[in-house]
Structure 1
């Protein structure tokens, strides 16, 4: 059987997670019963977010969410080749957990009171903020500088609406199908700034074709507490994942993954958040 490749960052995280497998018990279940013995665990991630969750052309997966999920799976008793990655788009995350399509989801999944009515969360494991991505030599340094400028986000994005409503009502909003199109527009000069979570922007900016061209404005327009979604009522799995996240921070694997996945974009990440500490 041909095994999926593991990215360098994931391999580093997995190597540091070897001792974490001792925390997993033999009765842990993924989508199939039991762990080990060739069994699989299904994990939900994004497939189209560089630096966070990206499916590569060769079939491998890379990004911070992938590295966190790989470490957590190891703590639950699953090796990297026993993980079955499942694409979970934002609109389908709650349904995927309720249907039992995946054991857990690590996919830029912000913890909110509304979502907690439908799923349980472990974490948070990253505190992100809504921000702006601009060209390296851009004079845009604060939100009001966007007035009269071309701001890009994806269709229906609350991030762009937030900017227009609260800090730059005269910004000229352009909504495109995806962030990759916005980033390409920023490179060509068709738009002046792109807005969404700083972690997502950093992931795109860290791609080889964009290295050194962009910078984050560092505005921190909102707090996004990324958590790992688990089926409602599965408190045992939440506890095990929280234990794994604590260990990932304490043994240095968390920071190594941040540096590997976001470093090229000069992403000034927040310190690892404390489990259960939701920043409003």
Structure 2
């Protein structure tokens, strides 16, 4: 009798487990049918939390598409802010299932997390004031007289220090909005990060006419979707979703929607290279 009860309990547990998985609960880590997804909250055109609490941008659309392919409706997504310096920790700690947040794929980061994609190719550039013509080439950056601003933990900041402008006076803040404020009040001379991010800021209504891109292509920044290291199953699922997004035209539709207003000449969807 005891054995029958134990067997019944085990069978019930299996059924409940299968039901939860079918509903998507097994993928979220929360067990409530939700999925935690990391994005940026302060990048217009890519990942932005609006004053009324909505989330908009190209990365947001990519994240929604991927989540849908994983079995989650938009209402099941719990958006988590993913600052550049915290992304690896958020993934490793299980705070999010994946991150879509202008997350450049680098060998250093791959020591701690895995990536799917890439799904977008950007290039590092500078945003300067509209009347500033002091920066024309890469050589103009490597001087202590130039006050550059970037975000702590970003590849842009690392590139400045290691590669093209080791002499520059680099200031690192927690968010791009802080750099933008510094650029506007002239406490910094330039904001450096990916051209896709800079274009989004320049296109905002309150900033139109104030800033311009310097037009320097300083690096290649392939954006990947960050996930738990070694999770090859999820990696393949996300790669499949990205391929489908390109093939059915959703990728191009999202790119035109979010980058078109900035007149940003984005590149076609890159080939997926990250595989287990």
- TM normalised by structure 1 equals 0.77
* CA gap 1:93/1:101 in 2 versus in 1, 3 angstroms: same
Q: What RMSD over aligned residues (CA atoms) do the two structures have, in Å?
A: 2.8
Match of 2:183 in 1: 186
* CA gap 1:104/1:211 in 2 versus in 1, 3 angstroms: same
Match of 1:81 in 2: 75
Unaligned stretches of 5+ residues in structure 1: 1-24
Unaligned stretches of 5+ residues in structure 2: 1-20
CA distance in 2: counterparts of 1:72 and 1:50, whole angstroms: 20
Secondary structure of the 2:198 match is: helix
Match of 1:152 in 2: 149
Secondary structure of the 1:244 match is: helix
Contact 2:151 / 2:175 at 8 angstroms: preserved in 1?
yes
Match of 1:239 in 2: 236
Q: Which has the larger radius of gyration?
A: 2
CA distance in 2: counterparts of 1:230 and 1:257, whole angstroms: 22
Match of 2:195 in 1: 198
Q: Do residues 215 (structure 1) and 212 (structure 2) align?
A: yes
- Pairwise CA distance, 1:239: 1.1
Contact 2:23 / 2:71 at 8 angstroms: preserved in 1?
no
Correspondence for 1:134 among 128, 131, 134: 128
Give the number of aligned pairs: 251
Report the structure, 1 or 2, having the larger helix content.
2
Correspondence for 1:98 among 74, 80, 92: 92
Contact 1:43 / 1:105 at 8 angstroms: preserved in 2?
yes
Contact 2:115 / 2:274 at 8 angstroms: preserved in 1?
no
Correspondence for 1:118 among 112, 136, 145: 112
CA distance in 2: counterparts of 1:186 and 1:90, whole angstroms: 20
- Pairwise CA distance, 1:84: 0.8
* CA gap 1:93/1:275 in 2 versus in 1, 3 angstroms: same
* CA gap 1:122/1:277 in 2 versus in 1, 3 angstroms: closer
CA distance in 2: counterparts of 1:119 and 1:178, whole angstroms: 22
Q: Do residues 229 (structure 1) and 204 (structure 2) align?
A: no
Contact 1:47 / 1:54 at 8 angstroms: preserved in 2?
yes
- TM normalised by structure 2 equals 0.78
Contact 1:216 / 1:267 at 8 angstroms: preserved in 2?
no
Match of 1:62 in 2: 56
- Pairwise CA distance, 1:93: 2.2
Shifted more, 195-204 versus 149-158: the winner is 149-158
